Amino acid sequence: MISTGAKDKWYFKTSVLILAFLSFGPLAFPLLWFNPRLSKKTKIILSIIVIILSYYLVVLLLNSLQSVSKYYEQIDQQLKSMSP
């Protein structure tokens, strides 16, 4: 099968775009913005959604790391108090 245009490219498929955003987050923006099948309005809306989700995931990650750090500090203090 001969590819006749940009619409036939594998990297413009919706499934590849979704998989790229799930795997790489905002690093997949070029796939979104170079996709000829999507309107400019759709690209802007999807970009805003990805940016907001990425922000919340980073905040969640930082909070989780802080909780784990506090937990290990408590364990360290308990071990120090138990040693002779």
pLDDT, one tens digit per residue, over 41-51 is 999 999 999 99
What average pLDDT is seen over the chain?
89
pLDDT, one tens digit per residue, over 26-35 is 999 999 999 9
pTM of the model: 0.73
> Can you tell me the distance from the alpha carbon of 20 to that of 76, in angstroms, rounded to the nearest whole number?
40
C-alpha distances out from residue 68 to 38, 60, 61, 77, Å: 42, 12, 11, 14
Contact 30, 50 (CB under 8 A): no
Residue 5 has pLDDT above 70, yes or no: no
Question: Percent of the chain having pLDDT more than 90?
Answer: 74
Q: Is the dihedral of CA 42, 51, 22, 19 positive or negative?
A: positive
> Can you tell me the distance from the alpha carbon of 66 to that of 64, in angstroms, rounded to the nearest whole number?
5
Match 């619409």 to its residue by tokens.
Answer: 7
pLDDT of residue 82: 84
